């Protein structure tokens, strides 16, 4: 029995990488480029105390794409934003949305759970980030301690904007081409051409130091994410085999799209460590075993936003009252959105699968 379970897990890992290797490698390269070529301090200044509120909240809700942070890396950046004097609302908005819109996690969501889940996840992440950030600002901003910290210097490189844009445009097409619906012959010819153009543009517009930093940053993301992802995919293969006779057993009380199922999914995801990238194949495996679309979205929303390690970390930064409020808001918002999506997902974006 043990041998068959290990074999099933191994086969699942092999099949996963065979199916997605030509998307995962570009996704890691894209994350590495974002992490090394984008000036984080220049970006984060738009969430400072002098920024327009609309600009700061909007920017905080989408900046996670540019910073490419995962669940484990969000807290240090949140701490830096909060301590440097950014508004509490934008800082919380960033804390919620940052890991969920990690470019690798979004790519995996579209691949493994479909375009509809991917689009809805992006939209409700932005809505939740705005809402929770606004509520925090409303209830706690007046009691925020005054923090006098010198902003970190902003250093610019000598590249023109269109040169940087060219690199990232080719990286985006390189990442998403394999998932396109065009014919295989055209797809892989374009993929090869895209790769050649990317090499040429990178050679022309980036110096050796920047390319080394890019590759080093790519390896950093790969080393942080790849092993947990392999473990998650392996465990899904084991669980699918073990519970094959009665797949509903693994779901315990998370059956159907009830309020109870969504609450349990939200609470479990918010308490355990549920990495933004690792969670996607995990949830995809549970969906294959019968998990309803509602609790599936709940898991994807609550999981990256908070965990017990995150809770204890932010408690030290902004206190037990604010940290507990954030945890409660994430659980409640994820539960409500998951329940509504589960009730109406068949009529939401009917042209998407």
Residues 218-273: pLDDT tens digits?
Answer: 887 787 767 766 776 787 677 667 666 444 454 556 778 999 999 999 998 887 76
pLDDT per residue over 14-36, tens digit each?
887 787 788 778 878 887 887 77
The answer on pLDDT for 127 being more than 70 is yes
Mean pLDDT check: name the lowest of 57-71, 92-106, 149-163: 149-163
Region 162-179: mean pLDDT is 84
The answer on pLDDT for 155 being more than 70 is no
pLDDT per residue over 29-75, tens digit each?
887 887 777 766 666 667 766 677 788 888 888 877 766 666 666 77
The pLDDT value recorded for residue 293 is 94
The pLDDT value recorded for residue 245 is 45
The answer on pLDDT for 199 being more than 90 is yes
Domain ranges of the chain: 2-159+206-344
The answer on pLDDT for 143 being more than 60 is no
Which stretch, 140-154, 222-236, 317-331, has highest mean pLDDT?
317-331
The answer on pLDDT for 152 being more than 60 is no
The answer on pLDDT for 116 being more than 50 is yes
Helices and strands: H and E segment counts in the chain: 15, 0
The pLDDT value recorded for residue 212 is 92
Percent of the chain past pLDDT 70, that is, above it, reads 80
Which stretch, 47-61, 95-109, 286-300, has highest mean pLDDT?
286-300
3 state SS for the chain: CHHHHHHHHHHHHHHHHHHHHHHHHHHHHHHHHHHHHCCHHHHHHHHCCCCCHHHHHHHHHHHHHHHCCCCCCHHHHHHHHHHCCCCHHHHHHHHHHHHHCCHHHHHHHHHHHCHHHHHHHHHHHHHHHHHHHHHHHHHHHHHCCCCCCCCCCCCCCCCCHHHHHHHHHHHHHHHHHHHCCCCHHHHHHHHHHHHHHHHHHHHHHCCHHHHHHHHHHHHHHHHHHHHHHHHHHHHHHHHHHHCHHHHHHHHCCCCCCCHHHHHHHHHHHHHCCCCCCCHHHHHHHHHHCCCCHHHHHHHHHHHHHCCHHHHHHHHHHHCHHHHHHHHHHHHHHHHHHHHHHHHHCCCCCCCCC
Closest by CA to 27, choosing from 157, 218, 307, 188, is 218
The pLDDT value recorded for residue 145 is 47
The sign of the torsion formed by the CA atoms of 180, 186, 189, 195 equals negative
- Residue 305 vs residues 26, 223, 275, 281: alpha-carbon distances, Å: 25, 21, 9, 17
The answer on pLDDT for 141 being more than 80 is no
Mean pLDDT, the chain, integer: 80
């Amino acid at each position: 029995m043990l041998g068959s379970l290990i074999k099933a897990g191994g086969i699942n890992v092999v099949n996963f990488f065979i199916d997605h290797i030509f998307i995962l490698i570009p996704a890691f390269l894209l994350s590495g480029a974002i992490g090394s070529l984008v000036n984080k301090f220049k970006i984060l200044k738009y969430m400072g105390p002098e920024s327009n509120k609309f600009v700061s909240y909007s920017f905080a809700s989408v900046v996670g794409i540019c910073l490419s942070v995962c669940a484990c890396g969000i807290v240090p950046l949140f701490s830096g934003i909060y301590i440097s004097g950014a508004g509490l609302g934008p800082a919380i908005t960033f804390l919620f949305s940052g890991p969920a819109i990690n470019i690798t996690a979004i790519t995996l969501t579209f691949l493994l759970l479909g375009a509809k889940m991917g689009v809805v996840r992006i939209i409700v992440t932005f809505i939740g980030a705005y809402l929770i950030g606004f509520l925090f600002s409303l209830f706690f901003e007046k009691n925020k301690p005054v923090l006098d910290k010198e902003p970190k210097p902003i250093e610019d490189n000598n590249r023109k904007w269109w040169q940087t844009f060219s690199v990232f445009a080719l990286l985006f097409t390189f990442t998403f081409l394999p998932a396109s619906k065009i014919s295989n012959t055209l797809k892989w010819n374009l993929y090869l051409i895209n790769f050649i153009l990317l090499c040429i543009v990178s050679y022309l517009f980036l110096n050796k130091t920047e390319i080394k930093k890019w590759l080093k940053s790519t390896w950093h993301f790969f080393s942080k994410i790849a092993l947990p992802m392999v473990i998650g995919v392996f465990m899904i293969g084991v669980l699918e085999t073990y519970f094959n006779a009665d797949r509903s057993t693994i779901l315990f009380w998370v059956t159907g799209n009830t309020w109870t199922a969504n609450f349990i999914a939200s609470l479990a995801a918010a308490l355990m460590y549920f990495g933004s990238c690792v969670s996607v194949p995990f949830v995809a495996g549970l969906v294959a075993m019968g998990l309803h679309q509602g609790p599936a979205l709940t898991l994807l929303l609550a999981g990256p936003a908070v965990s017990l390690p995150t809770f204890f970390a932010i408690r030290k930064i902004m206190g037990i009252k604010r940290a507990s409020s954030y945890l409660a808001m994430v659980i409640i918002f994820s539960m409500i959105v998951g329940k509504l999506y589960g009730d109406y997902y068949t009529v939401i974006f009917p042209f998407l699968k």
